[in-house]
Amino acid sequence: MDRDLPRGWGMNRTLLLGLWAFSAACSGAATSSAPAERAAPAPVKEGVVKLAEASWAFVTVSPVRADASSAAIQAPARVAFRDGALSRLVAPLAGRVVSVHVRTGDTVRPGDALVTLDCPEAAAARTAVATATAALREAQVAFDREARMLEQGVTTERERLSAETRLAEARAELARAQASVGFVGTGSGTTVVLRAPLAGTVLSRSAAEGIAVQPGGDVLVEVGDPSALWVVADVFERDLPRVREGARARVTLPSVHAPLEGKVESVGAVVAGGSRTAPVRITLDAPEQGLRPGMFGRVRIDAPDASLTLPVEAVLLRNGKESVVYVQQGAGTFVRRPVVVAQPVEGRVQVIEGLSPGDPVVTRGALLLDGAADQLL
């Protein structure tokens, strides 16, 4: 049966089987009376391989051990704007662009005018505020009059309560009108001015004079603060339990000569369905000149404790999804065991499940055992 093997993990199957066959042939030339003992490893049952004594030299067994230096997580990373450091402005109402006040690359301050729009609905929204304000003033006068008349015994409590209800309704209507006009900003008539919500740089601009716009449509201007950046690492789901807020991290970017030091600020609460990763946000210790959103690199995050590790060549990938190792059980007998492992870090891989400290695992020649078993099972 075919087996899928991870790139760079294990020895070349053809080379190992060739070495094993060569060993068996040499042993057969030396002792012709027992050629079967020096032939292929004999499978006992599914997942168990008994290796001939003449082939033991091609297999190295080492106990699995805890390794603090390899207790780290590696993941792809990218430079991104921090929360609140990026703003994309769209039209609040249907209308037309009258003028554009900025170009891509311009530096802006909070409140600077970016785009001026002509939106007929803006006039209606502003009129609604004026109408609601007048209605509230009238309701307040009516309520005050009813309250004085009740004190003088000229009116009834029912009339006063009715005036109080109308006053509350007028206040609610003014609040609704003010909320609506908040989308169009201050001003008069049909003019709406989109202003910069933060200090930063104009990253992109699609607005052009004369074009029609719709509420919530295309982004007209994008503004970002290039000084408010962090690094976002996409950490696999199986590694997330080992990531702690405040853990030290080292970021390597191809465009930056020296690694950047930082710490984990937050761990994403949602795992992406396709990649099975969650974002881990890293704050750098010191600002770095030349960093730009969208840069890609890698990050190494320190894990809290030492963990069981193996050389990457000890772990095989079967059927494209199951990671296995071979554990020694007696002289020349090896049992295939499924394991859960993390991503390789500097030539070693952390074992999350499946092994205990001291288990004797084949660290060299695992592919030879797996290949022989595949031939004879």
Res. 183: pLDDT tops 80: no
Residues 285 and 311 in one domain: no
Q: Average per-residue pLDDT in the chain?
A: 83
SS3 43: strand
Domain count of the fold of the chain: 3
Residues contacting 189, CB < 8 A, separation 6+: 122, 123, 126
Res. 168: pLDDT tops 80: yes
CB under 8 A, 24+ apart: contacts of 329-333: 332/50, 332/51, 332/52, 332/53, 332/56, 333/44, 333/48, 333/49, 333/50, 333/51
Band of the pLDDT at 311, cuts 50, 70, 90? confident
| Residue 345: predicted pLDDT | 73
Residues 287 and 246 in one domain: yes
Contact by Cβ (8 Å): 315, 347: no
Assigned domain for 181 exists: yes
Is the torsion defined by CA of 211, 216, 219, 223 positive or negative?
A: positive
Residues 235 and 294 in one domain: yes
Res. 255: pLDDT tops 60: yes
Q: Which domain holds residue 79?
A: 73-84+226-302
Band of the pLDDT at 24, cuts 50, 70, 90? very low
Residue 374: name the closest of 12, 55, 41, 57 by CA: 41
Residue 53 belongs to domain with CATH number: 2.40.420.20
pLDDT tens digit string along 131-166? 999 999 999 999 999 999 998 888 899 999 999 999
pTM for the whole structure: 0.56
**Strand 348-353 and strand 48-50: pairing?**
unpaired
pLDDT tens digit string along 345-359? 778 888 888 888 889
